[in-house]
């Protein structure tokens, strides 16, 4: 198989394989729940696992663009929607577990948690921001919104990822090692974008051209390449 230009059939196969791969943790967790191997506090184990997988899938989704650019394997882009939807699915599981199994839909308790605990507020905000992205993750919505507006909307994934890491950071009691690792990974993924953007800005400045006046030290709109 030509890794750079796979056939449509091969792409379909890759998608199926990635889907199955991404489903393994969920199957593993479900098996653990039903066989009672999630430890003494299975609801908490479920809460942590679903939260961590949400973050992992978000980071994997954000890794697609840099990976594609570094390797030149452009069909990676065609996996991004599925990866993002997996992140959303984990977030739904995380929220549902919290509302239902943890708090048994006790809305007074839930309201207090949202209002009084910043990590809950931030986590919920991240979830709310994910909803429009999931809802517009189809060809119809892209057509309806137009590519540029769709892209602008979907840039909120950066904010979502930052909120997700803050949510994790805020909830640990003392040991920030784990949230720190997620924060570093996210910083790398966002940093590389910033760096490339800066390079592109300089290139366009140097090249001049229409719509790109030669003004030093002024932020100018970058025309995507």
Partner 1 sequence: MLIKCPADIPPSEITPREQFERRREFLRHAGLGVAAATALWHGLLPEARAASALGPLIAGPYRTDETPTPFEAVTRYNNFYEFGTDKEDPAKNAVRMALEPWTVRVEGLVNKPQTFDIDTLRKLAPLEERIYRLRCVEAWSMVVPWVGYPLAALLRAVEPLGSAKYVAFVTHYDPQIMLRRPVLDWPYTEGLRLDEALHPLTLLTFGLYGELLPAQNGAPLRIVVPWKYGFKSIKSLVAIRLTERQPATAWNTAAPHEYGFYANVNPEVSHPRWSQATERRIGELRRRPTLMFNGYAEQVAQLYQGMDLKTNF
Applying CB under 8 A, the residues found at the interface with partner 1 are 39-41, 43-44, 101, 103-104, 106, 109, 112-113, 116-117, 119, 170-171, 173-175, 177
Taking the complex as a whole, how short is the minimal distance between the CB of residue 186 and partner 1, in angstroms? Answer: 21
The C-alpha atoms of residue 64 and residue 17 are separated, in whole angstroms, by 17
Taking the complex as a whole, how short is the minimal distance between the CB of residue 42 and partner 1, in angstroms? Answer: 9
Taking the complex as a whole, how short is the minimal distance between the CB of residue 176 and partner 1, in angstroms? Answer: 9
Taking the complex as a whole, how short is the minimal distance between the CB of residue 175 and partner 1, in angstroms? Answer: 4
Please state at what angle helix 107-116 crosses helix 118-135, rounded to 10 degrees. Answer: 100
User: If DSSP states are collapsed to H, E and C, what string results for 33-46?
Assistant: HHHCCCCCCHHHHH
Tokens 């602008």, located at residue: 152
Most distant CA pair in the chain, distance: 66
Nearer to partner 1, 70 or 177 (CB): 177
The C-alpha atoms of residue 142 and residue 13 are separated, in whole angstroms, by 24
Question: Contact, 84 vs 157, CB < 8 A?
Answer: yes
């Amino acid at each position: 198989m030509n890794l750079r230009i796979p056939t449509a059939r091969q792409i379909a196969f890759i998608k199926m394989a990635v889907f199955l791969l991404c489903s393994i943790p969920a199957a593993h967790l479900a098996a653990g729940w039903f066989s009672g191997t999630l430890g003494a506090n299975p609801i908490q184990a479920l809460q942590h696992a679903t939260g961590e997988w949400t973050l992992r899938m978000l980071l994997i989704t954000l890794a697609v663009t840099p990976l594609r650019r570094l390797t030149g394997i452009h069909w990676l882009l065609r996996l991004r929607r599925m990866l993002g939807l997996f992140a959303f699915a984990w977030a739904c599981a995380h929220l549902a577990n919290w509302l239902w199994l943890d708090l048994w839909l006790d809305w007074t308790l839930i309201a207090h948690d949202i209002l009084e605990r910043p990590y809950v507020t931030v986590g919920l905000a991240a979830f709310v921001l994910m909803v429009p992205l999931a809802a517009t993750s189809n060809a119809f919505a892209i057509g309806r919104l137009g590519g540029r507006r769709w892209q602008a909307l979907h840039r909120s994934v950066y904010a979502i990822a930052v909120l997700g890491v803050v949510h994790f950071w805020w909830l640990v009691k003392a040991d920030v090692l784990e949230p720190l690792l997620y924060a570093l990974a996210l910083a790398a993924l966002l940093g590389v974008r910033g760096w490339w953007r800066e390079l592109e800005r300089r290139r366009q400045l140097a090249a001049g051209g229409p719509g790109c006046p030669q003004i030093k030290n002024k932020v100018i709109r970058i025309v995507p390449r």
